[in-house]
């Protein structure tokens, strides 16, 4: 029987980050403006500006996070190469300690550690993973993360804003936006939960409640100020 494991978790994480913020923030902004102005044009203009700025900011954040991950790994890898050269026996002992956690006896630990030490690259790769808990990041990770987060933010943001294009009043636009966005939040929550192996109902409710609460808070604040 073939084992099935979920792959591309990082891409899913980026999609979830972009889509969840895209659905929530412009939805809250449009709802808030709906409580303060009576002009669909103003809401659409402000919403599009927010989506543009938000997608760039979120994408840039994803890029910087990806670059930081790569730079951190490279720095630790360089340090590990220096340690196996200058602190050879210390690294041998640390390697043996790792194998000891898996139940190998002293003789097995010594034999395997000495064998690994003959191949510095594989030894360093092993220590990076099992001593430091670091996986080698994809060199394209930063660019991919920026693109996925930015695009998913735009897609998510256009959903709550789209109803204002199709209606002739703020009230109708808001009512339609609530229905469409809540529906999308539920679907998004279910899909996210399905992909990540979480309980479907719990995931859907969590995403929906956060989005609805943000919009309600923005609308109430705008009403109080207006």
Predicted local confidence at residue 218, as pLDDT: 67
pLDDT category of residue 18 using cuts at 50, 70 and 90 = confident
pLDDT digits 0-9 by tens, 45-86: 999 999 999 999 999 998 998 899 888 988 988 998 988 888
Nearest residue to 83 via CA among 134, 127, 35: 127
94: in domain = yes
5: in domain = no
225: in domain = no
Which has the higher per-residue pLDDT, 4 or 120? 120
Tell me the three-class secondary structure of the chain, residue by residue.
CCCCCCCCHHHHHHHHHHHHHHHHHHHHHHHHHHCCCCCHHHHHHHHHHHHHHHHHHHHHHHHHHHHHHHHHHHHHHHHHHHHHHHCHHHHHHHHHHHHHCCCCCHHHHHHHHHHHHCCHHHHHHHHHHHCCCCCCCCCCHHHHHHHHHHHHHHHHHHHHHHHHHHCCCHHHHHHHHHHHHHHHHHHHHHHHHHHHCCCHHHHHHHHHHHHHHHHHHHHHHHHHHC
Predicted local confidence at residue 89, as pLDDT: 86
Predicted local confidence at residue 84, as pLDDT: 82
The domain of 130 spans 10-220
pLDDT category of residue 223 using cuts at 50, 70 and 90 = low
166: in domain = yes
pLDDT digits 0-9 by tens, 90-117: 888 888 888 888 888 888 888 888 888 8
Summary mean pLDDT of the chain: 83
Tokens matching residue 96: 């043996």
Nearest residue to 184 via CA among 165, 170, 163: 163
3: in domain = no
Q: Left (φ > 0), alpha (ψ -120 to 50) or beta: where does 8 sit?
A: left
pLDDT category of residue 1 using cuts at 50, 70 and 90 = very low
4: in domain = no
Q: How far apart are CA 92 and CA 97, in angstroms?
A: 9
Segment 164-176 mean pLDDT: 88
pLDDT category of residue 7 using cuts at 50, 70 and 90 = very low
pLDDT digits 0-9 by tens, 181-213: 888 888 888 877 776 677 777 777 877 787 777
Which has the higher per-residue pLDDT, 44 or 226? 44
Question: 1-15, 35-49, 164-178: lowest mean pLDDT where?
Answer: 1-15
1: in domain = no
Q: How many domains does the chain have?
A: 1
226: in domain = no
Tokens matching residue 137: 């990041």
pLDDT category of residue 214 using cuts at 50, 70 and 90 = confident
């Amino acid at each position: 029987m073939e084992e099935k494991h979920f792959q591309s978790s990082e891409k899913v994480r980026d999609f979830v980050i972009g889509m969840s913020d895209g659905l929530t923030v412009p939805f809250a902004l449009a709802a808030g403006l709906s409580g303060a102005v009576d002009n669909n044009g103003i809401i659409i203009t402000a919403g599009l500006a927010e989506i543009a700025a938000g997608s760039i900011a979120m994408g840039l954040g994803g890029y910087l996070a990806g670059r930081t991950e790569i730079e951190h790994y490279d720095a630790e890898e360089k340090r590990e190469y220096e340690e196996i050269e200058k602190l050879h026996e210390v690294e041998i002992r640390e390697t043996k300690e790792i194998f000891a956690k898996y139940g190998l006896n002293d003789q097995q630990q010594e034999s395997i550690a000495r064998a690994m030490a003959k191949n510095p690259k594989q030894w360093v790769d092993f220590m990076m993973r099992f001593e430091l808990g670091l996986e080698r990041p994809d060199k394209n990770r930063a660019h991919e993360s920026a693109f996925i987060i930015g695009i998913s933010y735009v897609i998510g943001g256009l959903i709550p804003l789209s109803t204002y294009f199709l209606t002739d009043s703020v009230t109708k636009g808001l009512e339609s936006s609530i229905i469409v966005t809540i529906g999308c939040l539920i679907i998004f929550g279910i899909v996210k939960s399905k992909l990540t192996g979480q309980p479907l109902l719990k995931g859907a409710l969590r995403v929906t409640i956060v989005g609805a609460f943000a919009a309600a808070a923005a609308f109430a604040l705008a009403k109080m100020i207006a």
